[in-house]
Amino acid sequence: MNETPEKVSSNSLKVRVPADAVGERLRTLSKPLLVEIVTYAPTAFYHCTHCEVVWKETGFSEGVHEEQVKSALPPDLLQDYQAVSDWAHHLLKTHCDHVVIQVVDAASMQGLWKSVRHGLKRYPAVLVGGQRFVGSDFTTAEAEIARRLEAAIVST
């Protein structure tokens, strides 16, 4: 399934999958698979867009946002966040438009709600269709994503 998907509409996606010895047929996914990642994320605060332009042009805020991001998390959590980022890029590269990735900061209200609802006690945590996968080893989560995408293609 390494072929590039062909966009059909905003909510469906045509994917070429091998059918049998006769050839290939076109399958349609009704919507992409939602992959939610709950993790601690670095936070940077910004002014409104107009003020940001003024601050940037005057040079007053030079380096402020970079410093905020660098100091927002301790090194171990920053390393976890980098692992999440690398994996998310890998997922998008591998599955293209078949997945939608939503990263939720564990320290936010939404992160608290998801943690309580899904019984998350450690981060990063990946939620795929109600199943949870905890830790920085994303192999089981990736296998589940591949399984669900394959099942979605076969069932359509």
Residue 84 belongs to domain with CATH number? 3.40.30
**Residue range(s) defining the domain that contains residue 69:** 32-141
pTM assigned to the model:
0.71
Contacts of 4 (CB under 8 A, 6+ apart): 96
Residue 62 lies in a domain: yes
Which is it for the CA torsion 128, 129, 134, 139, positive or negative?
Answer: negative
Which pLDDT score is estimated for 29?
Answer: 65
Residue 49 lies in a domain: yes
pLDDT tens profile 39-71:
998 887 777 888 888 888 888 777 777 777 777
Residue 25 lies in a domain: no
Q: Which long-range contacts (CB under 8 A, 24 or more apart) does 146-155 make?
A: 148/33, 149/29, 149/33, 149/95, 149/98, 149/99, 152/29, 152/33, 153/1, 153/15, 153/17, 153/27, 153/29
Residue 147 lies in a domain: no
pLDDT tens profile 68-93:
777 788 889 989 999 999 999 999 99
Residue 56 lies in a domain: yes
Residue 155 lies in a domain: no
**How many folded domains does the chain comprise?**
1
Residue 136 lies in a domain: yes
Which pLDDT score is estimated for 118?
Answer: 96
Q: Within 13 Å and on the Cβ side, how many CA atoms surround 17?
A: 15
Residue 3 lies in a domain: no
